[in-house]
């Protein structure tokens, strides 16, 4: 992990800023799911997230409906639903301290809730970490947006973030530089590891329908007491340490962590951490593409409590035939992988037709 102690804005100050922003904007986060009508469009895909909005040919005029469609622990992440639209028109990132209006960096640091969309296709080469502020949605639907070949996204000590429909790849370590994280504050940042999306001490986060590959460290890491997170419908390829949930074995404060991993496609060229879970409560859906391929891989589960039908089948050298199982409920057969993850990753959404 990067040395986050080098930032000049302390954890306590960040949490206070996030709390004040939340109170100022009077954003109520309810645990009730009554506001959702997940079957409204009757897509019949078997994916309750996509059934909530993908069949709507007018999705581009109903963009904020997406905020009502998450499931799992991150289901109450409203992002920028209660704010105005901000259109990114400029892919440049020339100044991390004084970002230009119209750039993605200028959008994500604002104090107010914003639903951020893009005017056209663009490749954004970030010079330093994109440090987000609370109550933001990054919505790449309808265009082809890449964050690539530079720094990537940092979600640190904030709340209510939705990231949807973005290509994130080839992220590099950056840092030892001044970076702005709000209109009123910037500070010195130490070296960042080069994660695709780094979630650090944050809550109510939903990462959905993104395509991630080939970053310097993790594709998505959630650490330091982060919780209320859903990671869904993403497409992961060509990477070593894919996803880390929990800072370290000794960091027991991560016991508050609650993360749902659902409908993601773990594709070719992946090596490990799909995901690696430490302290906390994790709801993970994992399906393999062939019965023959994975049996020679070394899969282990140690010290895990498996609930609500979850089970784990060890494989590889010395695995034996034993496995832990919490009930008689069975996992979905591997033959359903194609249909259940066919929509994973960035979608080809075009105005006037369903995605």
Residues labelled as active-site residues: 273
Length of the chain: 355
CA–CA separation, 206 and 230 (whole Å): 5
Q: By C-alpha distance, which of 179, 80, 201 is closest to 135?
A: 80
**Which DSSP string do the residues of 151-162 spell out, in sequence order?**
B-EEEES-EEEE
How far CA 61 is from CA of 56, 161, 194, 251, 350, in Å, comes to: 10, 21, 35, 44, 12
For 328, residues 6+ apart whose C-beta sits below 8 A from its C-beta are: 309
Exposure string (b/e) for 247-277, b if CB count within 10 Å is 16 or more? beeeeeebeebbbbbbbbbbbeebeebbbeb
How far CA 123 is from CA of 132, 150, 246, 266, in Å, comes to: 18, 11, 31, 24
Which residues share a beta bridge with 231?
207, 261
Pairing type for strands 84-88 and 270-272 reads unpaired
Radius of gyration of the chain (CA): 20
- Tokens 């023959």, residue? 292
């Amino acid at each position: 992990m990067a040395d986050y102690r080098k930032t000049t804005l302390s954890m306590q100050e960040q949490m206070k800023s996030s709390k004040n922003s939340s109170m100022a904007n009077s954003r109520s986060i309810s645990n009730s799911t009554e506001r959702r009508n997940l079957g409204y469009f009757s897509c019949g895909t078997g994916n309750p997230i996509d059934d909530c909005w993908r069949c709507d040919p007018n999705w581009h005029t109903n963009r904020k409906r997406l905020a009502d469609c998450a499931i799992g622990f991150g289901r109450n992440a409203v992002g920028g639903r209660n704010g105005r639209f901000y259109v990114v028109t400029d892919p440049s990132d020339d100044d991390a301290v004084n970002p230009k209006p119209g750039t993605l960096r200028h959008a994500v640091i604002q104090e107010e809730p914003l639903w951020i969309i893009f005017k056209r296709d663009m490749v954004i080469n970030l010079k330093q970490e994109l440090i987000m502020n609370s109550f933001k949605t990054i919505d790449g639907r309808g265009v082809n947006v890449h964050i690539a070949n530079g720094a990537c996204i940092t979600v640190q000590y904030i709340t209510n973030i939705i990231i949807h429909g973005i290509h994130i790849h080839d992220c590099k370590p950056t840092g030892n530089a001044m970076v702005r994280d709000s209109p009123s504050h910037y500070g010195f940042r130490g070296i960042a590891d080069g994660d695709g999306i780094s979630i650090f001490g944050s809550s109510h986060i939903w990462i959905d329908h993104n395509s991630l590959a080939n970053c310097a460290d993790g594709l998505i890491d959630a650490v330091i007491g982060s919780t209320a997170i859903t990671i869904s419908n993403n497409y992961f390829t060509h990477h070593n340490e894919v996803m880390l949930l929990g800072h370290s074995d000794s960091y027991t404060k991560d016991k508050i962590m609650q993360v749902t991993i659902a409908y993601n496609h773990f594709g070719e060229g992946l090596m490990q951490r799909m995901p690696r879970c430490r302290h906390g409560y994790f709801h993970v859906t994992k399906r393999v593409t062939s019965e023959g391929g994975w049996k020679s891989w070394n899969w282990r589960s140690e010290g895990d409590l498996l609930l609500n039908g979850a089970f784990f089948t060890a494989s590889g050298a010395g695995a034996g035939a034993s496995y832990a199982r919490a009930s008689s409920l069975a996992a979905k057969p591997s033959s359903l992988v194609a249909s259940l993850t066919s929509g994973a990753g960035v979608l080809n959404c075009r105005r006037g037709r369903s995605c």
